[in-house]
Structure 1
Amino acid sequence: MNASEYVIGGLAAVGATIITNPLDVIKTRIQLQGELAARGTYVVPYKGILHGMVTVIRNDGWMGLQKGLVPTMFFQFIVNGVRLGIYSSAVNLQWTKKKNGRESVGLSLFWGAAGGAVGAYFSSPFFLIKTQLQSRAPKQVAVGYQHDHTGMLSALRKIYGEGGISGLWRGSTASIARAAIGSGTQLATFGPVKAFLREQNLVVQPTLNSLCGGFVAGCFIALAMTPSDVVMTRLYNQGLDASGKGLLYKGWLDCFAKTVRTESIYGLYKGFFANYVRLVPHSALVLLFFDELMAFKKRLGIKY
């Protein structure tokens, strides 16, 4: 496996994250508002993407749109570095191709999901911290459980002090499911879409071809991943009792069941449009940056 592919994958994700993090903040808060409450029975401080951004700016200031940026960058570097590195290695070794030499959607899905699952597990503590930092807001617009962290280091010290290493990896099983679904869907659609656009002579310019492939992949991801994203956000943000157990949920299955029971299927798709608007450019930018950085590496003649 080529080590540079892991680094390039991480750098591509960091570049995309700086641009899309404000949408992640809005998505997180929309997913938490009205938690375990029937529709129409709770206050809605974030009524959509634009209204949510205005609300954040008015109450948190402009920097509120970049809450959780540092742990998000760490999370994205690890999860995308690992998943794109594993997937790229699988492609280079031709593990994603059928016997006839054509790309296999099933094999691409498998290696994309495997890479996403591994990356998600190792990056889980940073997703935990970024979720808790992004949800923190002034009382008048606060949603979900409010943690008193002042930054990433503050959160690390507190979470580790209260729960040790296992506390930092709380909810990691939910992160594996989310990343496996998202990564598998993205990578299984990105390559075939790019190939289709080239073969049909629709979009052949390399950079534009990668960009279009990324946009299409992002559409599929938003549909497939939003339910698991809602579950993960709520699991990671919930408060803990004196024994370290969640105040609302016992695990991802319990969170899923309680959300559907109290909020219907609609609850699992809270923040869908914010997630879609974030994922489409994020997916496109990550894969575009990855392709461009890989091409740059080849031009420099770097082999490792």
Structure 2
Amino acid sequence: MASTTVKDTASKTAVSAQNAATAAIEDPSGFLHHPYTRAALPFINGGLAGMTATAVIQPVDMVKVRLQLAGEGARTGPKPSALGVTRDIIAAGKVLDLYTGLSAGLLRQVFYTTARLGFFETFMKNLNAKAKAQDSQVTFAQRAAAGLSAGGIAAMIGNPADLALIRMQSDGLKAPEARANYRGVFDALGRIARAEGVAGLWAGATPTVVRAMALNMGQLTFFSEAKSQLKQHTTLSTQTQTFAASAIAGFFASFLSLPFDFIKTRLQKQQKDPKTGVLPYKGLMDCARKVVKEEGWLRFYRGFGTYYVRIAPHAMVTLIVADYLNLITK
């Protein structure tokens, strides 16, 4: 009897909470419908979606960075596999080492994904409003421009956290006596700023911006376009449309952005030679030229499988969560 009473009470409480949440969302005068809240929601939903995806995908990102840095400067250098890198990381420390840099990854999402999804959603709302007023449809070119713009702006905002993430993940590749042993993302940011100046926090910003624009072109533009096309030409459910569109977006995001991600990783990892004070690469083009000359064209796509496993699920989780949050808060 007592058990039945507890169950009934819990059930009634759950129903009451659900009804209260529904009423809050549907109430046109409620908090969610305040003009300031409406403007902030795309950014909040984007940040939450990005942080959720990063928490899931962080170990794959760690392996991806190690693969990109292996054999630097040698055409016939080591050719590690994702499984081998994973095994080496675990053997050298512990399973949790796969989550090295998680704090930086989450901080990056707070700035980067909050901005890119927030700006993209804001741009798309304006484009949809204009298209509706003109009795037309948003074009692929307009979606592409929105994705490129949102990605570029967000990348500049999030570069310091992205730099800290690369430095933390690559630290384990150095000799024990040369490691920085960062205590966390804020320790990394502070030490980089003191050693290289505040401007040093934007090292690799150019390839980061280009990479973000390419990734967003693939991810947000193709997601929006694929979902629109699936809605018009199929009878799939909303959930299936979202999943299929996110899978398509994940592939294009990976394929278009990997070469730029590779160069970004190399530039952000580099530090001045202690003897000469010279950096290995002068910039994006110099890095690309040296990689082609010393390591070959295919090196840009080393670890594509790992990168796809990192980018595609991250894109899918981010887009599905963001789409769901946008749906329940619209």
Aligned ranges 1:160-199 → 2 under 5 Å:
160-199=193-232
Pairwise CA distance, 1:49: 2.4
Q: 1:148: Cα distance to partner?
A: 4.0
| 2:143–2:225 CA contact under 8 A, matched in 1 | no
How far the C-alpha of 1:103 sits from its partner, in A, is 2.8
Change (3 A) 1:192 1:87: same
Partner of 1:137: 172
- Tell me the equivalent position of 1:103: 138
TM-score for the superposition, normalised by structure 1: 0.88
Aligned counterpart for 2:266 among listed residues 221, 234, 243 = 234
Which residue number in structure 2 is paired with residue 118 of structure 1?
153
Residues in 2 aligned to 1:106 and 1:217: alpha-carbon distance in whole angstroms: 16
Which has the larger helix fraction? 2
Offset at residue 273 of structure 1 (A)? 1.1
How many angstroms apart in 1 are the aligned matches of 2:194 and 2:276? 11
Residue 281 to residue 242, structure 1, CA distance change in 2 (3 Å): same
Given that 1:13 and 1:76 are in contact with CA atoms closer than 8 Å, whether structure 2 keeps it comes out as yes
Shift of 1:64: 1.1
Partner of 1:2, secondary structure, is: helix
Partners in 2 of 1:189 and 1:100 — Cα distance? Answer: 23
Which of 284, 294, 300 lines up with 1:268 in the alignment?
Answer: 300
1:26 aligns with one of 63, 66, 69: 63
Question: One-letter code of the match for 1:225?
Answer: S
| C-alpha contact (below 8 Å) 1:97/1:104 kept by paired residues | no
Q: Secondary structure at the match of 1:249?
A: coil
Deviations along 1:115-156, one digit per CA (max 9) or x if unpaired, are 11111101101110101111122668x9xx954433223212
5+ residue gaps in structure 1?
A: 299-304
Instruction: Report Cα offsets for 1:188-209 as digits up to 9, x if no partner.
Output: 110121122233325x222232
Tell which deviates more after alignment, 184-193 or 110-119: 184-193
State how far apart, in whole Å, the 2-side matches of 1:250 and 1:4 are: 40
Larger Rg: 2
1:215 matched to 2:215 = no
Instruction: Report if the CA contact (8 A) 2:104-2:184 is conserved.
Output: no
Deviation (angstroms), 1:55: 2.1
Partner of residue 16, structure 1? 53
Residue 292 of structure 1, CA deviation: 0.6
CA distance 1:120–1:96, change in 2 (3 Å): farther
1:147-168, CA deviations, whole angstroms, 9 ceiling, x for partnerless residues? 4433223212211111221011
The aligned counterpart of 1:43 is 78
Question: Secondary structure in 2 aligned to 1:137?
Answer: helix
Considering only aligned residues, what root-mean-square deviation do their CA atoms show, in Å? Answer: 2.3
Residue 70 of structure 1 contacts residue 152 of structure 1 at CA under 8 Å; is this kept in 2? yes
Change (3 A) 1:95 1:263: farther
Contact 1:212 / 1:284 at 8 angstroms: preserved in 2? no
Which residue number in structure 2 is paired with residue 6 of structure 1?
43
* Cross-structure match for 1:250: 282
Find the counterpart in structure 2 of residue 278 from structure 1.
310
- After superposition, the C-alpha distances for 1:73-107 in whole angstroms (9 at most, x for unaligned) are 11122111111111111111126976662231111
Between the aligned partners of 2:69 and 2:56, the Cα distance in structure 1 is 23
TM norm structure 2: 0.82
Task: Structure 2 unaligned segments of length 5 or more: list them.
Answer: 1-37
Shift of 1:242: 6.2
Q: Contact 1:235/1:249 (CA < 8 Å) preserved in 2?
A: yes
Aligned to 2:125: 92
CA–CA distance in 1 between the matches of 2:280 and 2:328?
48
CA spacing shift, 1:226–1:138, aligned 2, 3 Å: closer
Match of 2:95 in 1: 62
CA distance in 2 between partners of 1:206 and 1:115 (Å)? 25
2:186 paired with 1:149 = no
- Deviation of the 1:213 alpha carbon: 0.8
Which stretch shows the higher mean deviation, 193-202 or 267-276? 193-202
Q: Distance in 2 between matches of 1:232 and 1:138?
A: 17
